[in-house]
Structure 1
């Protein structure tokens, strides 16, 4: 297995970044809406879904998993960006320059999303994130916030409220359209164009596809 990209296919490391990020992203969303719809007494659906009653004591422990995943996504995007900027990228498979530019814009929009969502989420979190082996303090308890507060003369709520608004808006109205476009484009290439856009991001299929290359 090749670990690095070539002009024809993705390597093992970019695949790992891609699928870890995708899994963490989906899990973070599932947990967030589980808390909103079922666990949090203030926002839960009434009558309770699936017979599960709200429980305020469970909100922070469950959200801690959401925060862990979000921060992990934020850290994963850094090597992904470095790999994209400084490494080889497989050649685009679009049939026109306009299509190639659109695909490139969509990819960079996804990278921006993977920065904005974790950053805005972290900056409006009241509680520390407990990873078990270590704890990341809440943003309001960091020296960075202390510097922002003293420099700009703002309090915690002056930062927390807009960050929460950005996080909620991006998560509700930006993230899913981008993901749907990304998945839809991959399926279009696979089933309609019948090219390698999707299979070259699948480990076993990519290996077999490479072996068929002249």
Structure 2
């Protein structure tokens, strides 16, 4: 098994992108819902500044984990897309044309979410995101955000409210259904159809057609 994709198998690079993204995605959800359910329910309705909430000392460090994971997903997705487009992907297993089109549509929808969620989330972060060795400034303090506000005549609050609406809608209503559909399809192929769709994405298994 090499690093590049072949017509019959995913390469190590694609597997690394896939499983690293999956782990970060699931952990980011666990962290943010832990904060909402057990630390500060106000987190779910966008306070003016997370750092000004009564539980700020507990909320902000936990949310920083969520922000780091979210931005990491965004950073992984861009080279992942380049790798996919440049190197190609394994061919579809046997199935109808509708099934193949549906699989492609679902994959591209997931890629869109993996870009839109980190981007819209970053635009509503308010506080700098500490990665340990370096810090990413809050979006509201960047020249890009200022240029967007100027171009569309928006205030800081208006831009952040729009980004929050996108982020919260995708997170609550689109991301999880697509992920569940993705996992369900993999289980269907593996346990019912008994083909190689799931096996060829597992790093410890050799893939066949």
Fold agreement, TM-score > 0.5 = yes
Equivalenced residues, count: 200
1:108-187 to structure 2, matched below 5 A, reads: 108-187=108-187
Q: CA contact under 8 A between 1:41 and 1:55: conserved in structure 2? A: no
- How many angstroms does 1:42 deviate by? 3.5
Two-structure CA RMSD over aligned residues (Å):
1.6
Q: Deviations over 1:14-39 (max 9, x none)?
A: 00000000000000000000110111
Q: Distance in 2 between matches of 1:79 and 1:179?
A: 21
Look up the match of 2:15.
15
Q: CA contact under 8 A between 1:189 and 1:198: conserved in structure 2? A: yes
Look up the match of 1:49.
none
Look up the match of 2:77.
77
Structure 1 pair 26–194 and aligned structure 2 pair: CA distance change class (3 A):
same
Q: Distance in 2 between matches of 1:88 and 1:174?
A: 27
Q: CA contact under 8 A between 1:39 and 1:56: conserved in structure 2? A: no
Q: CA contact under 8 A between 1:24 and 1:70: conserved in structure 2? A: yes
Q: Distance in 2 between matches of 1:98 and 1:90?
A: 18
Unpaired segments ≥5 residues, structure 1: 45-53
Instruction: Return the index of the structure with the highest Cα Rg.
Output: 1
Q: 2:204 aligns to what SS in structure 1? A: helix
Q: Distance in 2 between matches of 1:6 and 1:75?
A: 24
Q: CA contact under 8 A between 1:28 and 1:66: conserved in structure 2? A: yes
Q: Deviations over 1:120-139 (max 9, x none)?
A: 10011110100010000010
Q: Which moved more, 1:29-38 or 1:54-63?
A: 54-63
Q: CA contact under 8 A between 1:40 and 1:56: conserved in structure 2? A: no
Q: CA contact under 8 A between 1:37 and 1:43: conserved in structure 2? A: no
Unpaired segments ≥5 residues, structure 2: 45-53
Task: Point out which structure has higher relative CO (alpha carbons under 8 A, 6+ apart).
Answer: 2
- How many angstroms does 1:152 deviate by? 2.7
